[in-house]
């Protein structure tokens, strides 16, 4: 059985969670010479991770949840739980290097609590088939408080040069402490940092009790790739964000091995 380390990427909207999740997956694959099994989970209702990874998907968990709740209305004897698990296995997109599961929209009519619970258990079970599960979280904090997230080994909290993102990081830290999700380690990344601004951002964050663990510079190539609709995953090896993420990934992996 595999260890199934879970790494969740959280933070304020637009700070770069999706780009970082994609670059993290790429760095883990490169660091392990392709000898690794990764499940990428897009937990954002907006579902941008497939584009950042350069793959397409057919159905989201939200889609099958709708289908099953619909079917349940016509057949009350339907065993939603066992059907759900089977369907999730069907909608996982497989590539040579990693698999992808897209959550899609959580909202809709009907009570979702039991289904969310099943979903969490399913991810816990799925994690055992992989070395790493990398979750691109949605921007808000609902995800955590709704308790749809599985326990995480490392929660990457992304902030940028905005004070709002530092405050969101602080709130995330508090929520993770308060709720019933087991977060073993937090790793704070300051992203899109202009040259020469590293000290300032660290100092500002420290003023709010946040220690920055890693910095990713502002990378015009990410902007260019995003503008042209090219997957961030395919950035050149020597781009500043790829180099920075490589360093950060080895820090995270080494810390997890402890």
Ligand X SMILES: Nc1ncnc2c1ncn2[C@@H]1O[C@H](COP(=O)(O)OP(=O)(O)OP(=O)(O)O)[C@@H](O)[C@H]1O
> What is the Cα gyration radius of the chain?
18
DSSP bridge pairs for 94:
99
Q: Which of 18, 122, 148, 165 binds Mg ion (CB under 5 A)?
A: 18
DSSP 3-state assignment of 41? strand
Closer by beta carbon to ligand X, 28 or else 248: 248
Give yes or no for residue 5 binding ligand X (CB under 6 A).
no
Hey, which bits of 121-227 come out as E strands? Answer: 132-136, 152-159, 183-193, 214-217
Q: Which residue is nearest to Mg ion (CB)?
A: 18
Least spacing, CB of residue 216 vs ligand X, in Å:
5
Least spacing, CB of residue 12 vs Mg ion, in Å:
11
Least spacing, CB of residue 164 vs Mg ion, in Å:
16
Piece of 60-68, 71-79, 94-102, 218-226 that binds ligand X (CB under 6 A): 218-226
Least spacing, CB of residue 166 vs ligand X, in Å:
14
Binders of Mg ion among residues 30 to 89 (CB under 5 A) are: 48
Long-range contact list for 28-36, CB < 8 A, 24+ apart?
Answer: 28/132, 28/134, 28/249, 28/253, 29/97, 29/98, 30/246, 31/246, 31/249, 31/250, 31/253, 32/131, 34/97, 36/131, 36/132
Closer by beta carbon to ligand X, 176 or else 244: 244
Give yes or no for residue 168 binding Mg ion (CB under 5 A).
no
Give yes or no for residue 62 binding ligand X (CB under 6 A).
no
Phi then psi dihedrals of residue 168, to 5 deg: -65, -40
In this structure, are residues 168 and 159 in contact, taking their beta carbons and an 8 Å threshold? Answer: yes
Cα–Cα dist 125/201, whole Å = 39
Give yes or no for residue 191 binding Mg ion (CB under 5 A).
no
Piece of 30-38, 76-84, 197-205, 220-228 that binds ligand X (CB under 6 A): 220-228
Q: Which residues bind ligand X (CB under 6 A)?
A: 13-19, 44, 46, 48, 139, 191-192, 216, 218-219, 222-223, 226, 241
């Amino acid at each position: 059985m595999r260890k199934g380390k879970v790494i969740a990427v959280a933070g304020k909207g637009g700070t770069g969670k999706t780009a970082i999740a994609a670059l993290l997956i790429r760095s883990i694959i490169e660091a392990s010479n392709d000898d690794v099994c990764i499940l990428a989970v897009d937990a954002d209702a907006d579902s941008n991770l497939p584009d950042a990874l350069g793959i397409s998907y057919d159905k989201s968990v939200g889609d099958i949840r709708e289908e099953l709740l619909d079917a349940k209305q016509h057949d009350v004897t339907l065993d939603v739980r066992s059907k759900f698990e089977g369907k999730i296995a069907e909608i996982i997109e497989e590539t040579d290097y990693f698999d992808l599961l897209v959550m899609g929209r959580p909202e809709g009519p009907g009570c979702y609590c039991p289904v969310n619970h099943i979903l969490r258990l399913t991810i816990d079970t799925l994690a055992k088939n992989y070395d790493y599960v990398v979750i691109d979280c949605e921007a808000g904090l609902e995800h955590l408080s709704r308790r749809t997230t599985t326990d995480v080994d490392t929660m990457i909290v992304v902030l940028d040069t905005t004070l709002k993102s530092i405050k969101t990081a602080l709130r995330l830290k508090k929520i993770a402490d308060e709720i019933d999700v087991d977060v073993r380690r937090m790793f704070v990344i300051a992203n899109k940092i202009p040259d020469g601004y590293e000290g300032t951002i660290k100092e500002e964050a420290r003023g709010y009790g946040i220690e920055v663990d890693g910095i990713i510079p502002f990378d015009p190539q990410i902007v260019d790739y995003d503008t042209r609709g090219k997957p961030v995953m395919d950035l050149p090896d020597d781009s500043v964000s790829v180099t920075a993420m490589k360093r950060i990934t080895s820090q995270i992996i080494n810390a997890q091995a402890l």
